[in-house]
Structure 1
């Protein structure tokens, strides 16, 4: 190999490495400003357990295949169709017998909503995916499942509504400056899974009905030839699962080394929101106790069985946000799987704080700094849009 050829190879390698570092989410992820944090929309009355527009319709028994399940599914559809019309809605259906169905098939319906960059082709969009299950347990009779998982569903709905205009602002600005073709095509996706709960007792067959079906289908469902991503499963960059959230003083452990960087970003955002006096719940121990650890120091005893497992088994990167600590009797909050897991036992201030935290996380992931309406109004926003695009173009010129 000649010296000149060796130098050319080294130059191309370094250029490729630089581009790769820009594309990796853990490296490209940039923090949003305090000003943007302060401007994030609050949910107002949306989490009121009696008439809140987002949460109250979910606080009913919603066992798969029952009218309550259909009512909650219709609630999701109505929300996205009326509030977020730019989003695409899909359903993934399956059936299965259960230990309690006497040989009859029970229907399971997974709800999927996504928003893609304008002009993106199917199979070329990479998603950050926010997930919760919406079904409730068959027993005890009348079980609501407020933390499990009505509140997580409502939190995700608030997140998507809160970032939607900023997302449109970003993509409009990119189209005007013709930078969209130069950017990785990041989209955002919501999955509300059916059939997470066991009908009798938790086994590999009596649990995760919707998650197992969707992961299996998406593993083999092929995108068009020459797509950037071969299947819908491979297009998931990060699968963020929310479960058992809504009780005061949550404790969220970090379970996977490869997503510990994202966990640490959430911990940083929690501390920033607290320091800005934007959290309503009572101050206490940090929500993310593993934040100070290196990824090699994590001790997670295998993680928690939940809807992420069929996706994890197929290589999807998982960030599991579940309230669990080994010092509790069951590890979970005292209301877990009891009749007391209802709206009255939610800590609404904590639910609202989760909605603000997760909105900030989604805004950072989607690189929305400068695209929100700030406290100074639309004129300041237009200036921020122009500055954001100038910075983006400058970075690309440096390459």
Structure 2
């Protein structure tokens, strides 16, 4: 993700939201929703996060990037997903050619009714928000800003595989399963974090230099005419002390999905992680998914209102975005919320 906006135009944005309907995406759920009885394993998600970091920073055009791509695809395949790699040569802010690979893993690919879960998996090449200027040209490990979102998706895929085989994922509800008419697509976006660095001489309006893989996928989906009921983007979902405010582009394009997810968090017992407060408008992968692909998609992304280093948290685009700052309780709160949404879809 790149920038967070708090300018007066946001007031106009929210006026547009308040005037719009709330029927966008997703099916209506019961007024008194109950926990779905499928337990998200934070330990499993934490391990998936660690295993990505074991490759080192997954910077574009690097060996670590390519090796991690193979690992991600193999993990999804091991859970019975249909997996494909969408390869493209994209161009960075400075013209650098980037060997991009969006990874798409599909559960029940034959189903026409679909849910989209997505996250970016690449690492930022430059720790340009690090407090030490000597680190500004060093790569970011991206334990939170990259690996955490993929880790949550892999754990959801693991749970789907278990429930498909009739294996209990919670002793209180051995029969829980996804609606048989719904399929899920897990999209790992590449080239999200090659956006213009803060130390670049000329930046201007650099919004288009971010989320390159998502921009490409939105204009060239992996299936002709691809549509989903709704999408959920997971970005930086494992940080210590994280709280997930309601991002403003999400509220503009998919207000009913925002309400749905925040209610699911409350139902699952993690409402304290999801305050019903507004954050900023963030340039992230969900923007082209909404604007170009036409799929109502929200962004689950943290907001730290009192953090001097960044409203994205103290590790954002620094060399300390590593496993020592990943919190299993945050992974659990986000993961269980996503599970609640997915497994309660009618």
TM-score, length-normalised on structure 2?
0.73
Contact 1:312-1:318 within 8 A present in 2 as well = yes
Structure 1 gap ranges (5+):
1-21, 170-182, 223-230, 280-284, 292-298, 368-399
Separation in 1, partners of 2:252, 2:196: 33
The 2-side partners of 1:207 and 1:143 are apart by 16
Q: How big is the shift at 1:253?
A: 1.2
Query: Is 1:215 aligned to residue 218 of structure 2?
Result: yes
CA RMSD of aligned residues (A): 3.0
CA separation of 1:198 and 1:28: change in aligned 2, threshold 3 A? same
- 1:339 counterpart SS class: coil
CA contact (8 A) 1:130 1:239 kept: yes
Q: 1-side partners of 2:51 and 2:237: how far apart?
A: 17
Aligned pair count?
288
Q: Which has the larger radius of gyration?
A: 1
Aligned to 1:116: 108
How does 1:136-151 map onto structure 2 within 5 Å?
136-140=123-127, 141-151=138-148
> 1: distance between equivalents of 2:96 and 2:85?
22
Superposed displacement of residue 289, structure 1: 2.4
Residue 322 (structure 1) aligned with residue 298 (structure 2): no
1:189 Cα deviation after fit:
0.6
Q: Do residues 106 (structure 1) and 98 (structure 2) align?
A: yes
Tell me the equivalent position of 1:296: none
Could you list the per-position Cα deviations for residues 303-335 of structure 1 after superposition, in whole angstroms to 9, with x for gaps in the alignment? Answer: 200011212212220111111254544321111
Is the Cα–Cα contact under 8 Å of residues 267 and 287 in structure 1 kept in the other structure?
no
8 A contact 1:239–1:316 mirrored in 2: yes
Deviation of the 1:257 alpha carbon: 4.6
Which whole-Å CA distance do the structure 2 matches of 1:347 and 1:300 have between them? 21
Structure 2 equivalent of residue 130 of structure 1: 117
Give 1:353 deviation, angstroms: 2.8
Report the Cα distance in structure 1 between the residues aligned to 2:24 and 2:305, rounded to whole angstroms. Answer: 37
More helix by share: 1
SS of residue paired to 1:114: strand
- Counterpart mapping for 1:1-399 below 5 A: 25-28=26-29, 33-34=34-35, 36-37=36-37, 40-43=38-41, 45-48=43-46, 52=47, 54-59=48-53, 60-82=56-78, 84-85=79-80, 87-99=81-93, 105-116=97-108, 120=110, 125-140=112-127, 141-167=138-164, 185-198=181-194, 200-201=196-197, 203-218=206-221, 222=224, 231-232=225-226, 235-247=227-239, 248-255=241-248, 256-257=251-252, 259-274=254-269, 286-290=272-276, 303-314=281-292, 315-329=294-308, 330-365=310-345, 367=346
Give the deviation of 1:99 after TM superposition: 4.3
Gaps of 5+ in 2: 1-22, 128-137, 167-178, 198-202
Q: Partners of 2:151 and 2:31 in 1: how far apart? A: 26
The SS at the match of 2:72 is helix
Deviation at 1:290, TM superposition (A): 2.3
Change in CA separation of 1:28 and 1:251 when aligned onto 2, cut-off 3 Å: closer
Distance 1:154 1:64 in 2: 19
Number of the residue aligned with 1:295: none
Structure 1 residues 95 and 360: alpha-carbon distance in aligned structure 2, compared to 1, 3 A threshold: same
Looking at structure 2, the residues matched to 187 and 197 of structure 1 have their Cα atoms a distance apart, in angstroms, of 29
Query: What is the Cα deviation at residue 359 of structure 1?
Result: 1.6
SS at match of 2:150: helix
Shift of 1:131: 0.5
Answer yes or no: is the 8 Å Cα contact 1:138–1:199 preserved in 2.
no
Distance 1:263 1:286 in 2: 16
Check 1:44–1:25 CA distance in 2 against 1; reply closer, same or farther (3 A cut): closer
SS in 1 for 2:86: strand
The structural deviation recorded for 1:261 is: 3.0
Cα separation, partners in 2 of 1:204 and 1:354, compared to 1, 3 Å: closer
- The verdict on how the C-alpha distance between 1:66 and 1:74 changes in structure 2, with shifts beyond 3 A counting, is same
